[in-house]
Amino acid sequence: MTVQFLFLIFSIHINSIHCAHFRGGAITWRPESNQNSVLNTDRNIIIEQRYAWSKSTAASACTTATILSFGTIGENVVSIIQCYSPAVKCTSAMYTTVSTLVPCTDYNIVLGTSYGYSSTTRNLTAISSGIVVGYVVSGAWLTLQLGGGGWDLMMYINMRPRSDNQLINSSPVSDISLVTYVPVGGIGPTSIDIPMSDADGDNIECRFSLASNTLGGIVVDECGGVCQPVALPALTQLISNNNTCTLIVTLPTVGYYAVAVQLEDYMVNSTTPLSSVPLQFLLLAYDASNPVSTCTVPPTITSIPPDFPAEGATITVQVNFPYKAMVIAQTGCPLDPDLSISNFITASPPGMLKSNLPFVLVAPSYAINLTWTPTIDQLNQTYQFCAIAIDIDYHESSQYCFFIFVGPQTTTTTTTSTTTTTTTTTTTSTTTSTTTTTTTSTASTTSTTSTSTTTTSATTSTTTSTTTTTTSKCSLRTLRFSD
Ligand SMILES: *[C@@H]1O[C@H](CO)[C@@H](O)[C@H](O)[C@H]1NC(C)=O
Ligand SMILES: *[C@@H]1O[C@H](CO)[C@@H](O)[C@H](O)[C@H]1NC(C)=O
Ligand SMILES: *[C@@H]1O[C@H](CO)[C@@H](O)[C@H](O)[C@H]1NC(C)=O
Ligand SMILES: *[C@@H]1O[C@H](CO)[C@@H](O)[C@H](O)[C@H]1NC(C)=O
Ligand SMILES: *[C@@H]1O[C@H](CO)[C@@H](O)[C@H](O)[C@H]1NC(C)=O
């Protein structure tokens, strides 16, 4: 009797740990450096993971404090990427498990979601056939309208020399947000572009992950409880064409649906994938029948001051120095007073804070603030930042992404080269927009009186030293951009 009672308590405990918390993820791999691959020798491979979890589950709760302390989120019971190839291959490749607990980078109050990202280096041996590794847990996906339960994410890593250039391959990647809004009801199918890219310029294909597929010579389950045709309506199409991937879907009821796909890269005229990586994300089907506004034009992310990076561009920030920016979005119909931006979904570098809900800048513009002081561990790394703006009727902007390179602190360098006071140091650390303001005020002072010219020349010398700093920062930026 007592034994049974204890068992009951135990199973309730396990259930609460497993309680509907997985919200999708993606895993990719690439070599750390571009040297020829030599069979049976070791090379560093970087495994990148990102996941979305329920914010309300203890193991994946995330706050500002979690982000600042690089606190990890995930699933406590099973939290490893394990090798699924025959043991002899896993051993020859020197594979050791990788933790799936990742530092929380973002949380979204509206969606009740925590997001995390990690980059892990493994020193692996290049073997002729590659290995299959996976993150497999028996439960539980967030409650879905179709399918659900356990998750399986499977990845094929093959480090053998590429036949075209002898290098180690890099897998394809996708920066798609782990949740996409889809309207329910009589508006026709929704088409969702799944962005893909490949560092080697290979042909990239996408396909639905399969419940039973031969990957790297073994049969594996690539999608657990969210395989097709279980998780999405039967008529759903996934079209892979000319390195693009498009999901065409009509969702019948309000709620969440999961999409599980594999991204694979191929050499020209080859039908054997060089690698295969999992991408699993959510569709959030919303009721579009009673919109607040008649406007159907999605919002747009208009600018990200003070650096104003173009989409896909790289800006440089300084290690140990605060980077502050604002992501500004505008509603699709600026003259419609009923419309507003209600949420931003972000994917940020580890340690970057975001203000929670959007604030009105000047209607119809809304914004969130970003603040980040990159740590010394982040020096020389390039991180991606992505944001999507969502209006009150759930129309999404297209995703705006740019890269941030963490460079050395340039303030110290300038102080040594310029023999001026503390005032100069302050000026040096300000941004390009401030420099422009200084120039304007100089011009206006010159035209007023001759007495103030002396003062102006003093200001001009300060401006010159500022310009020097900005130029070196810009050339670094250009360097990264052309990489
Ligand atoms: C990988 O580890 C081996 C020792 O097991 C070491 O000799 C080698 O230098 C390491 N390779 C890299 C790229 O770090
Ligand atoms: C394939 O995509 C490239 C790049 O977007 C484009 O220039 C080209 O026209 C496309 N080719 C076909 C056959 O669609
Ligand atoms: C790919 O196949 C086509 C058709 O057989 C051929 O014309 C082309 O040269 C091949 N390309 C390469 C890189 O082998
Ligand atoms: C956002 O940043 C601006 C400029 O630094 C500041 O004036 C404003 O108070 C900030 N708002 C929030 C909500 O953090
Ligand atoms: C960062 O990169 C620079 C230039 O490549 C190099 O000199 C420096 O040692 C690197 N610093 C760290 C901490 O990796």
Helices and strands: H and E segment counts in the chain: 7, 27
| Confidence band for 169, pLDDT divided at 50, 70 and 90 | very high
Are 250 and 257 a contacting pair, CB within 8 Å? no
In terms of Cα–Cα distance, which of 135, 170, 160, 172 is closest to 150? 135
Pick the residue whose CA is nearest to atom 9 on ligand 4. 369
pLDDT at 412: 52
pLDDT tens digit sequence for 180-197 = 999 997 678 999 999 999
Ligand sitting nearest the alpha carbon of 327: 4
Taking domain 22-287, whether its CATH number is 2.60.40.60 is answered by: yes
Q: How far is the CA of 354 from the centre of ligand 4 (A)?
A: 11
Q: Has residue 134 got a pLDDT over 50? A: yes
Residue of 11, 260, 36 whose CA lies nearest to 134: 260
The rounded Å distance from CA 40 to ligand 1 centre is 12
Instruction: Enumerate the domain spans of the chain.
Output: 22-287, 300-407
Domain 22-287 matches domain 300-407 at the CATH topology level: yes
Q: Ligand 5 pocket: which residues have CB below 6 Å?
A: 379-380
Q: Which residue is it, tokens 């329920």? A: 54
Question: In the predicted model, what is the mean pLDDT of the chain?
Answer: 84
For residues 282 and 25, give the distance between their C-alpha atoms in angstroms, rounded to a whole number: 9
Question: What pLDDT score does 13 carry?
Answer: 34
Task: Report yes or no: 154 and 28 within 8 Å, Cβ to Cβ.
Answer: no
User: How do residues 82-124 score in pLDDT, each as one tens digit?
Assistant: 999 999 999 999 999 999 999 999 999 999 999 999 999 999 9
Mutate which of 323, 326, 368, 369 to test ligand 4's pocket (most atoms within 8 Å of Cβ)?
A: 369
Does 175 sit in the ligand 1 pocket, CB within 6 Å?
Answer: no
Ligand 3, atom nearest to 269 Cα = 1
CA distance 62 to 73: 7
What pLDDT score does 472 carry? 25
In this prediction, residue 27 has a pLDDT band, given cuts at 50, 70 and 90, of: very high
Q: Is the CB of 454 under 6 A from ligand 3?
A: no
Cβ of residue 335 lying under 6 Å from some atom of ligand 3 = no
Rg over alpha carbons for the chain, rounded to the nearest Å, is: 25
Return the pLDDT at 139: 83
Q: Which pLDDT tens digit goes with each residue over 228-259?
A: 999 999 999 999 999 999 999 999 999 999 99
pLDDT of residue 481: 24
Cα–Cα dist 123/25, whole Å: 23
Ramachandran angles phi, psi of 32, nearest 5°: -70, -35
- The set of residues, in sequence order, having a beta carbon less than 8 Å from that of 205 and lying 6+ positions away, is 240, 245, 263, 264, 265, 266, 273
What is 300-407's CATH number?
2.60.40.10
